[in-house]
Amino acid sequence: MDSAAFLDLLGNENRRRILRLLARKPCYVTEISEYLGVSPKAVIDHLRKLDEAGLVESHVDDGRRKYFSIARNLRLEVNVSPYDFGTKSAYSASPNLDITSWRYVSLDIERADDPEEASSETDLSALAEELGRLERLENELSMAQRWVQGRLTQTLDEISAHFEGVDGRFYGELLRGLATGPATPAELSRRVEAPPDVVADALEGLAAHGVVEEDGEQWRLTD
């Protein structure tokens, strides 16, 4: 499916909400129906379209209940500018990709004191050369983002595997919420959309593993 078709598919709010729910845990139709507040028939129709696009997949548990989950990573990029409108979709790069072998994944920018004056004095060939350099950099940054997405999913999977028998994804989301900085249980509760008492208990469990610690009213990752 091309990127334009993905945009059309994700233009529906309920389909976006289904993906947001499945990003937290696999769910069956009744769960999704109650979460969205729509009929099971409508949910089945949304899931069918997402399945046809390769975004979701299903499996049947021992009780013969059918669960749906997100099938794979997909990155959808939209570019809107005075000179371009375009979309690009791509699956995550392999976590084994060696980005250290790339020529560069960094910015090297020279800034003039007067941008208008510098622009008027720059000849067309230099501008064309700069355009080419920026296009190459854009492609490399896009690949780097795909690589990061793949590594992020792999790391969260490995975190989940440490909590066999419980919702490992939930613990992964808590750690992810603390990765950007310390937060209170109430702040984390809003981020992961879970009751404060559940978050508090989970933080105590993570503290027992030595990966988080309490710092006043906030919690943070241990050094």
For the segment 106-133, what is each residue's pLDDT rounded down to a tens digit?
555 554 445 555 555 568 888 888 888 8
| Position 84 in a domain | no
Contact indicator for 191, 177 with CB cutoff of 8 Å: yes
Check whether residue 126 and residue 178 sit in a common domain.
Answer: no
Selection from 147, 150, 169 nearest residue 160 by Cα? 169
The boundaries of the domain holding residue 120 are 92-158
User: Is residue 19 assigned to a domain?
Assistant: yes
Number of domains in the chain: 3
Within a domain: residue 133? yes
- Is 82 domain-assigned? no
Tell me the backbone φ, ψ of residue 199, rounded to 5 degrees.
-65, -45
Q: Do 29 and 54 lie in a common domain?
A: yes
Please give the C-alpha separations between residue 106 and each of 92, 103, 144, 151, 197, in angstroms, as whole numbers: 20, 9, 11, 19, 43
The DSSP element (H or E) to which 85 belongs, if any, is strand 84-90
Residue 41 placed within a domain: yes
User: What's residue 77's pLDDT?
Assistant: 81
Q: What is the 3-state secondary structure (H, E, C) of 93-124?
A: CCCCCCHHHCCCCCCCCCCCCCHHHHHHHCCH
User: Which positions ≥6 away from 54 have C-beta within 8 Å?
Assistant: 1, 71, 72
Q: Is residue 75 part of a domain?
A: no
Q: Is the dihedral of CA 11, 15, 17, 22 positive or negative?
A: negative
Picking from 70, 101, 119, the residue at the C-terminal end of a domain is: 70
Determine, yes or no, domain membership for 79: no
The predicted pLDDT at position 70 comes to 92
Last residue of a domain, one of 158, 189, 205: 158
Q: What is the pLDDT along the chain (223 residues), one digit of tens a residue?
A: 678 888 899 999 999 999 999 988 899 999 999 999 999 999 999 999 999 999 999 999 888 889 999 998 888 888 787 877 888 777 776 666 666 666 555 555 554 445 555 555 568 888 888 888 888 888 878 888 878 888 888 888 888 888 766 577 788 888 888 988 899 999 998 888 788 888 999 899 899 889 999 988 899 999 8
Q: Is 81 domain-assigned?
A: no
Diameter over CA atoms, the chain: 73
